[in-house]
Amino acid sequence: MKNTMIRITYDGTNYSGFQVQTNAVTVQEKLEQALALIYKQTVRITGAGRTDAGVHARGQAANFRAPFEIAPERLPHALNALLPPDVVVTGAVEVSDDFHARYSAKSKLYSYCLDRAVFPQVMKRLYSWHLPGPLDLKALNQAIRLFEGTHDFKGFQASGSRVSDTRRTIYRVETRELAEEELLVLYFEGDGFLYRMVRLITGTLIRAGRGKVSPAEIEKALQGLDYGAAGPSAPPWGLCLEKVKY
């Protein structure tokens, strides 16, 4: 059976996340339904990461064992003919037998988009968090530097996580202002992220930019001394999985 990796982009608005769930519509479910029609049997996929309800992706990745060979250049076309319009497969490639979409990943890149216009921009409302008002970018960028590197992010995960090792490495956090569009985009690249970790860090950075939390308080949270500076969690619709790097 050929091990195949696919790249997927999706609008997460109408889905309860990527991973299959009981009594909820997910992106993985739609992909597996399409694969079952193509291969005439059940095909299970493994995603690179679990995105939550309402979270989007431009560069999600997944792998599966193909029951029989279909040319990789043909597979995206076959899948997209069966998928809903808010889920699109952008590429497929045969990979080594030991490739695993999650465990083989070297890093993941997420973006978080903030709508800085005075009034909500209607055409961007599903993909950004409307956040008008003063925001000290110097203070925000000062806080960003604290999160880079290897830390125990135990205080920056939502309840319900069963992960035992909460140490992660963030390679970079960057901001990009799109002045004409009145957007501010935050980028996070790391070796992995805990449950709602990016959204909690984003919420913390916004508080820092509004003078509601100090660098010293953030450092205490990262040291496990006081988690009061962490969060709150930014809403899911501003978050997007940009790319999984292998």
Contact 195, 163 (CB under 8 A): yes
Q: Which ranges of the chain would DSSP assign to H, the alpha helix?
A: 27-39, 75-80, 137-147, 197-209, 215-222
Angle (nearest 5°) at CA 144 between 143 and 150: 110
Q: Please indicate whether residue 52 is annotated as part of the active site.
A: yes
Bond into 134 cis (ω within 30): no
Name the token pair of 193: 């992220």
Q: Which of 52, 97, 136, 165 is catalytic?
A: 52
Phi, psi of 78 (to 5 degrees): -65, -45
Looking at residue 234, the DSSP 8-state letter turns out to be P
The rounded distance, in Å, linking the Cα atoms of 178 and 99 is: 37
Cα separations in angstroms, 25 against 20, 30, 140, 224 = 8, 8, 36, 37
Q: Which residues are paired to 130 by β-bridges?
A: 115
The rounded distance, in Å, linking the Cα atoms of 146 and 213 is: 13
Active site residues per annotation: 52
